[in-house]
Structure 1
Amino acid sequence: MTLIGDGARLVDTVSGRALGHAALRREVARIAEALSTLPEGVLFTRVSIGMPDLLRYLAAFESGRAVALIDPALNADSLASLIARFRPGAVLSAPCAEPPPGYRAEDGHWLRADPEGVAPHPELAILLATSGSTGAPQFARLSRRAILSNARAIAEVLGIGPDDVAPTSLPPHYSFGLSVLNSHLAQGATVVIEPSGILGRPFWDSVSSAGCTSLAAVPYHYEMLRRLDFDPARYPRLRKLTQAGGRLRPELVDEFDTKMRAAGGGLYVMYGQTEASPRMATMPAELLAHKPASVGPAVPGGQFSIRHGDGSETTHPKITGEVVYRGPNVMMGYAEDAAALALGDELGGLLPTGDLGYLDEDGFLFVTGRLKRIGKVFGNRVGLDDLEHAARATGLGIEIVAAIAADDKVVLFAEGVAKDVCKQASRALGERLHLHASGFDVRPIDVVPLLASGKIDYQALAELI
């Protein structure tokens, strides 16, 4: 199976360039031929939301050349560290700077001087930095089979077809954004390249003029869309909103579900991880009102179970433990250096997610938190995700908040909130959890920092403590 299904199109709103199926395949083949002449090893490509970078990704995938998709905003030191560890054959769309030792600049790229490198495993297709990694990230090794199987599964549950049109609302180096691109192109649909971002007027002008039928967003985007009084009725063809990248608070699930149903469409709450290529569950829009806290059943070909502390697993309902996923879209394993690129599948389709949750009697998954998103307040363990939700539920107008574990307390950064409100929130959290308010240090912040994916940058916040 190819990632470029019959009828697939790319439309670039910046240049006005449109590539129909035949032209798209010709461009991909032309670029693939150029990639074949580059030194051996994985390719790094700094991939932005733009036609040239997306074409390079497609060319690498279609030609079987393993490629790491790099955030173009990655700082110079972090990029240099990755290059030293993985020794890529080339860095495509290289920064406007001197290449690192052992590389030379050519046509806007950095090429490794030594033509011989570590040959990636034949099944390895894509490397993606795991969520939230900074400084020295590890890559998830994703096979061609994993990427294609997940693209098919997502297309099936969302009913993606040749008439669908999706905008690039998320960056392609973020697994959710890449999944949107893959699942639409594989089904012969159209992808509209719009780099201005979901909160900009040009983006919504393109959604309207291109007749976009779906939109993918993370929780922060939905918080902002609520502030902007988003109305799907303004976009007659927009019938599917999808959400992943963290838990969407119940009020927003209800609000956007109601809005989409009134407009004749639906909200699809999804669950995934980069390590699963990336989506593992989708809540059918027509059932969301009945199970608003669920992320739905596993995608076609996948299966969930719940792991107990003793290592045993169950699918019995209402038993909470670590969520375990099995499916063809599970990564081959992690890579921390070039040697790991040659390894085969180390996981056999089994992924312990690190998330806590339970299944109901229908096999629908309810995610309740993270195993490692735990803080301590005066020796008492508290779930940081649950604490964020508790802060929003205080009725003090806190909407965007991020919790960080700090010694024997938790620091919560509340966006756009006054100091006196923060003090009230600390007292409210203390009362709710029956602990002294000093254990909950709620601090005002003008803007909560975000990663390029739209997720909260917890590492940047930790550095403020």
Structure 2
Amino acid sequence: MFPSPQARLVAAGDQEALAGDELTRRVNRVAEALSRLRPGPLFCGMRNNPASVLRYLAAWQTGRPIALLDPDLSAAPLADLVSRFRPVALVGFTHVADGPPAGRGPAPDPHPDLAVLLATSGSTGNPKLVRLSREAVSANAAAIASALSIMPGEIAPTSLPLHYSYGLSVLNSHLAAGATVVLTEAGLLERSFWTHLDEHKCTSLAAVPYQYEMLRRLRFDRAEHPTISTLTQAGGRLNPELVPLFAAQADRFFVMYGQTEATARITVLPPDRLADKPGSAGQAVPGGRLTIDEGEVVFHGPSVMMGYADSAADLARGDDLGGVLRTGDLGRLDDEGFLYITGRLKRIAKIFGVRINLDDVELLLRDTVPVAATSGDDRVTVWAEGLDIAACRNLARRLGAELRLHWSGFDVRPVERLPLLPTGKIDYRTLESRTEAG
């Protein structure tokens, strides 16, 4: 059952939790309001607060598909999404008023299995929506709760946006397990986040690689937050040097790999295998299975999306993928089924006719400063945080020497700060647009 009757929601700083009959009553009240809307998807600016979570649970209860979007999405890209998907209402957005959108008539009724829509990119570009079924959401929540041994006594803060699949999976897995979620809109750099984490005796913390880099700079010390026993990481490859560092700061440190297209997490590396499986993303979550097809990682399981959607008409479609997801990632499996990600199919560039893996370029320079690599015309552009022109030239020569290519194939540019998506991942789309501009 999702959510479990034991599940609890707590707004950061509040002493009283929403649970049991009171949580049910609050969800029912929102569900009643939603039932008065015509059939169709609801667009929700998904904040890390009770109002957003109650809307999400009410939509789930009433069988209405809900698109969980960045609440700070600017008016123009939101208008594009509204034009393409024709939602019945918009709620919770910073730059657009709540209510039914003006314009076109009703769209085809969404497929009855459709539950959640998530964007494939951040606030830029022209994102598709990922169509997730009720079965996919439930299956992944249960799989994560099982793989991480989440029990009713666990208490997790919302350290990630809830419109991001990793953040949403923290909410879903804890609600499915009958645990507690502390809802906070504060970030890891804000003092109030840590005050509330300690005040509510949170037992776990979920973060992406960039956040772990920040935690290292902040000199995170478990002794200052003694109730934290579990740390989890997903959202990209973590610097290998940080794995033992943070494993020592928790009773349990889980390294994971996932994609929005698989609802959330695909693999989990349990803490007791960190030492003998360095660099691995772990084994498939319960109920899932991995194969490798011509180097590409393929995930099989009930949490695979129904497919993408470009318009309202696509929301009426059934399951296009049949539980099989070609991830676009390159990888290998060892004899125990542990996955090792080796690159990205589309993260390939050519320099003087030689194929270069952009992830390898970043890995080579990880010991210097934060960098991001994008492809250009017969060159690789490397964006280096906080360097001057002379240092950038030296990096280009180093890359040329290590990859045995002329250094002129590497355009290393200084940038004050690497642009990030709301999820904490590098915003490659923005960097690519800068590459094209010049």
What TM-score do you get using the length of structure 2 for normalisation?
0.96
Q: How far apart are the structure 2 equivalents of 1:428 and 1:32? A: 59
Q: Deviations over 1:288-317 (max 9, x none)?
A: 111120011100000000002xxxxxxxxx
Q: Residue 58 in 1 paired to residue 57 in 2? A: yes
Q: How far apart are the structure 2 equivalents of 1:116 and 1:414? A: 48
**AA at the equivalent of 1:324:** V
Q: How far apart are the structure 2 equivalents of 1:83 and 1:248? A: 36
Q: Residue 449 in 1 paired to residue 419 in 2? A: yes
**AA at the equivalent of 1:290:** D
**Runs (4+) off by over 6 Å:** none
Q: Residue 227 in 1 paired to residue 217 in 2? A: yes
* Contact in 1 for aligned 2:45/2:92 (Cα 8 Å): yes
Instruction: Please name the residue that 1:268 is paired with.
Output: 254
* Contact in 2 for aligned 1:39/1:117 (Cα 8 Å): no
Q: How far apart are the structure 1 equivalents of 2:192 and 2:214? A: 16
Q: How far apart are the structure 2 equivalents of 1:9 and 1:51? A: 11
Instruction: Please name the residue that 2:432 is paired with.
Output: 462
Report the count of equivalent residues: 435
2:334 to 338, 355, 360: 360
Instruction: Please name the residue that 1:374 is paired with.
Output: 348
Structure 1 residues without counterparts, runs of 5 or longer = 98-104, 309-320
SS at match of 1:222: helix
1:343 to 311, 317, 324: 317
User: Residues 114 and 439 from structure 1, CA distance in 2 versus in 1: closer, same or farther, beyond 3 angstroms?
Assistant: closer
Instruction: Please name the residue that 1:20 is paired with.
Output: 19
Pairwise mapping of residues 192-211 of structure 1 onto structure 2 (< 5 A)? 192-211=182-201
* Contact in 2 for aligned 1:283/1:297 (Cα 8 Å): yes
User: Residues 259 and 17 from structure 1, CA distance in 2 versus in 1: closer, same or farther, beyond 3 angstroms?
Assistant: closer
**AA at the equivalent of 1:177:** G
1:300 to 273, 286, 299: 286
2:378 to 383, 408, 411: 408
User: Residues 142 and 335 from structure 1, CA distance in 2 versus in 1: closer, same or farther, beyond 3 angstroms?
Assistant: same
Q: Residue 281 in 1 paired to residue 267 in 2? A: yes
SS at match of 2:249: helix
Of residues 432-441 and 250-259 in structure 1, the stretch that sits farther from structure 2 once superposed is 250-259
SS at match of 1:267: strand
Q: For residue 463 of structure 1, report the CA deviation from its aligned partner.
A: 2.2
* Contact in 2 for aligned 1:42/1:67 (Cα 8 Å): yes
**AA at the equivalent of 2:183:** I
User: Residues 114 and 425 from structure 1, CA distance in 2 versus in 1: closer, same or farther, beyond 3 angstroms?
Assistant: closer
Q: How far apart are the structure 1 equivalents of 2:140 and 2:93? A: 30
Of residues 435-444 and 156-165 in structure 1, the stretch that sits farther from structure 2 once superposed is 435-444
Q: How far apart are the structure 2 equivalents of 1:113 and 1:336? A: 18
Structure 2 residues without counterparts, runs of 5 or longer = none
* Contact in 2 for aligned 1:6/1:187 (Cα 8 Å): no
Pairwise mapping of residues 122-201 of structure 1 onto structure 2 (< 5 A)? 122-131=112-121, 134-201=124-191
* Contact in 1 for aligned 2:13/2:196 (Cα 8 Å): no
Q: What is the root-mean-square deviation of aligned Cα atoms in Å?
A: 1.6
Q: For residue 135 of structure 1, report the CA deviation from its aligned partner.
A: 2.6
Q: For residue 113 of structure 1, report the CA deviation from its aligned partner.
A: 7.0
User: Residues 349 and 156 from structure 1, CA distance in 2 versus in 1: closer, same or farther, beyond 3 angstroms?
Assistant: same
* Contact in 2 for aligned 1:5/1:187 (Cα 8 Å): yes
Of residues 169-178 and 203-212 in structure 1, the stretch that sits farther from structure 2 once superposed is 203-212
SS at match of 1:110: coil
Q: How far apart are the structure 2 equivalents of 1:135 and 1:376? A: 25
Of residues 430-439 and 7-16 in structure 1, the stretch that sits farther from structure 2 once superposed is 7-16
User: Residues 16 and 114 from structure 1, CA distance in 2 versus in 1: closer, same or farther, beyond 3 angstroms?
Assistant: farther
Q: Deviations over 1:183-218 (max 9, x none)?
A: 001111110011111222111111111111111111
Q: For residue 116 of structure 1, report the CA deviation from its aligned partner.
A: 3.8
User: Residues 186 and 236 from structure 1, CA distance in 2 versus in 1: closer, same or farther, beyond 3 angstroms?
Assistant: same
SS at match of 1:119: coil
**AA at the equivalent of 2:394:** Q
**AA at the equivalent of 1:293:** G
Q: How far apart are the structure 1 equivalents of 2:129 and 2:364? A: 33
Q: Deviations over 1:362-385 (max 9, x none)?
A: 110001110001112222111111
Q: How far apart are the structure 1 equivalents of 2:149 and 2:399? A: 43
What TM-score do you get using the length of structure 1 for normalisation?
0.90
* Contact in 2 for aligned 1:244/1:272 (Cα 8 Å): yes
Instruction: Please name the residue that 1:102 is paired with.
Output: none
Instruction: Please name the residue that 2:393 is paired with.
Output: 423
